[in-house]
Amino acid sequence: MKPRNGHSFWNVVAGIMTETGFTLGLTFSLCLLAYLVAAMTR
């Protein structure tokens, strides 16, 4: 199971941005859920 491209500088940068983007997207979705629940139970 080998990586296709290896660890070039830009791959590392893109990888970090991918992970951060995923995490922020997930957090945003959960916060949206919180706002929906707050609106529904008001």
Partner 1 sequence: MNGNRMKPEVLYYTGVVVVWLGGLMLVPMATALAFAEWAPLVDFGISLGLTLCCGFGLMLCGARSRRGLTWTEGFASAALSWIACMFLAAVPYILSGHWRSFLDALFDVMSGFTTTGLVLVQDLDHIPNSINMWRHLLTYVGGQGMVVLALTVLSKGLPGAFKFYVGEAKDERLLPSVGRTTQAIWFISVVYLVIGTLVLSAAGMAIGISPVRALLHGLWTFMGAWSTGGFAPQSQNVNYYHSALFEFATIPFMVVGSFNFALHYYVWSGRRKEILRNVEIRAMTVSLLILSLTSLLPAATSRLYSTGMALSRRVIYQVISAQTTTGFGTVYAQQIGSVWPVLAVFSLSLAMLLGGSASSTAGGFKGMRTGLVWAAVKREVRKFMSPESAVVLGKIHSGDDVIVEDRNVMIAALIILLYVATFAIGTLAGLAFGYPMPIAVFESASVTGNTGLSAGLTSATMPATLKVLYILIMWAARLEFFSVLVFMGVVWRGLWPR
The residue ranges that bind partner 1 (CB under 8 A) are 1, 3-8, 11-12, 14-16, 18-20, 22-24, 26-27, 29-31, 33-42
Nearest-approach distance from CB 42 to partner 1, in angstroms: 7
CA 37 to CA 30: how far, in whole Å? 11
- The least CB distance from residue 2 to partner 1, in Å, is 9
**DSSP label of 35:** H
* Residue 26 C-beta: closest distance to partner 1, Å: 7
Please, are residues 11 and 5 in contact by the beta-carbon 8 Å criterion? Answer: yes
